[in-house]
Amino acid sequence: MIKELAARLKTKREKLGIDLEEAVEKTKLHPLMIKALEAGRWEEISPAYLKGFLKIYCSFLGESFDESEFSPLKETKKEDVSLEESQKAVVKKYFDIKTLFFLLESKLFLVFLVGGLFLFGTFFLVKKVKNKPPIEEVALTESGLEKEGPLPPKKISSVDKDFLYVSLIARKDCFVTVKIEGKIVFEGVLKRGVVENWKANKEIEFNLSDGSAVEIEVNGKFLPHLTKMRRPIKSLKITPAGISVEK
């Protein structure tokens, strides 16, 4: 019976050509109440107010009903409650529920946002680490030079028999001291990406704060990595006869 009356109310309003705004203006009922009455969602309206709302709306549309046929109406006793107060109570209840759903949705949104940022950061970090040139394990050879697994140590073949040409490439910031023929020619921090070149007759010696931070090229050929881990190199001597490393 509730659904039948609700359908009649909505059909009657539409036949009379009355829109929702006009119905609200004439009856002073809240739009939410009118929608609930027309949709048959009477359980959303307190029984204490339902009878009064139905009387007002049915009277406005010229629609009659027998309240004895509807059990929700039999429980109505608070007829002395004003229309304004009753609507405020029902609307407040509706918006309390709506606010609760909004807060739940907001928290879910924050969870998804934080999760998305975490996944993006993890992906970026993994990609960066994956693209970083690997530093392979090294071992000392008989000559004292550390040797990489797949890269055998290379002998120094002079482009010019009378000179040593050495280039140092900084992969990370590194404090470097350079001696040529026993005299300090450079002492300071090489910033990442910087390339410095030196020329010596008989001997060039390096002191490095981090052996894993540099790549060294001698007469056009790269030396194997000095160390895999962050470790200082006390002395790296390069002469035409060979190379010696002291840690």
* pLDDT tens track for 33-55: 889 889 988 888 888 888 888 88
What's the pLDDT band for 196 if we cut at 50, 70, 90? very high
Q: Which amino acid is at 72?
A: P
Kindly state the tokens that stand for 164. 């040593």
Give pLDDT, residue 156: 42
Q: At what angle do helices 83-131 and 47-61 cross, to 10 degrees?
A: 110
The yes-or-no verdict on residue 89 having pLDDT over 80 is no
What's the number of CA atoms in the CB half-sphere (13 Å) around residue 221?
Answer: 13
Beta-ladder partners of 175: 189
Task: Tell me the Cα Rg of the chain.
Answer: 43
Structural domains for the chain: 2-98 (1.10.260.40), 138-246 (no CATH)
* pLDDT tens track for 99-143: 555 556 666 667 777 877 887 777 767 655 555 444 333 333 433
Give pLDDT, residue 81: 47
Query: Which residues 6+ apart lie within 8 Å of 6 measured at CB?
Result: 37, 38, 39, 40, 42
Mean pLDDT of the chain: 75
DSSP secondary-structure letter at 20? H
DSSP secondary-structure letter at 1? -
CA distances from residue 52 to 31, 56, 153, 175, 195 in whole angstroms, order as listed: 15, 6, 98, 88, 89
What's the pLDDT band for 180 if we cut at 50, 70, 90? very high
What's the number of CA atoms in the CB half-sphere (13 Å) around residue 67?
Answer: 13
Question: Does the reported pTM lie above 0.85?
Answer: no
